[in-house]
């Protein structure tokens, strides 16, 4: 089950670590980056689910930013970059299922944007991992929100 909608996304501040990697290594890099952020900022209070921003995407490689949205007041000496993402209007796709099928969800989201005549803004698209795989063990129940900022 999946759904598409246009939403207003509020500004958010996050602890961020970035990397460039081959597309097939994204899952490994995500785990590594989130681990580094959490180890270096153990007292940070999460305000919403972890996100992954795709700052560049090419056929073989991509640049990503793993972001943990936090209350900036809870981060006294950040060991990771503290970055503010702007508020925006975005196309949102809710994907329910395993992470391995996220590629198909992204294709559906981009197709929905095209068929509705919407214009991406050029800001980095991202996904948010609503369910924690440490808590929800069945991949068929994973909830991931995909966002593409719009003009």
Domains and CATH numbers, the chain: 2-150 (3.20.80.10)
Instruction: Give the single-character DSSP code of 45.
Output: -
d(CA 118, CA 130): 25
Q: What are the backbone dihedrals phi and psi of residue 56, each rounded to the nearest 5 degrees, phi first?
A: -155, 135
d(CA 91, CA 9): 10
- Which pLDDT value is given to residue 53? 98
Q: In 46-117, where do the E strands start and end?
A: 51-57, 61-69, 81-85, 88-96
Picking from 2, 3, 11, the residue whose alpha carbon sits closest to that of residue 123 is 11
CA atoms in the 13 A half-sphere facing the CB of 151: 6
| Average pLDDT of the residues in 92-99 | 96
State the average pLDDT for the chain: 95
- Which pLDDT value is given to residue 1? 56
Angle at 70 between CA 68 and CA 73, to 5 degrees: 150
Q: Tell me the pLDDT band of 43, cut-offs 50, 70 and 90.
A: confident
Count of CB atoms within 10 A of residue 100's CB?
A: 9
- Which pLDDT value is given to residue 78? 86
| Average pLDDT of the residues in 4-29 | 97
pLDDT > 70: percent of the chain: 99
d(CA 62, CA 64): 6
Regarding pTM above 0.75, the answer is: yes
């Amino acid at each position: 089950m999946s759904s598409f909608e246009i939403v207003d996304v509020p500004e958010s501040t996050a602890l961020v670590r970035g990397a460039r990697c081959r597309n097939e290594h994204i899952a490994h890099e995500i785990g590594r980056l989130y681990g580094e952020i959490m180890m270096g900022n153990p007292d940070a209070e999460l305000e919403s689910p972890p996100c992954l921003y795709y700052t560049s995407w090419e056929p073989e490689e991509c640049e990503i930013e793993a972001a943990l949205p936090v209350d900036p007041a809870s981060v006294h000496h950040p060991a990771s970059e503290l970055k503010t993402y702007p508020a925006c209007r975005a196309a949102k796709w809710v994907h329910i299922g395993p992470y391995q099928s996220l590629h198909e969800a992204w294709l559906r989201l981009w197709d929905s944007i095209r068929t509705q005549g919407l214009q991406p803004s050029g800001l980095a698209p991202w996904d948010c991992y609503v369910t924690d795989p440490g808590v929800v063990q069945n991949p068929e129940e994973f909830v991931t929100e995909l966002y593409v900022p719009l003009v």
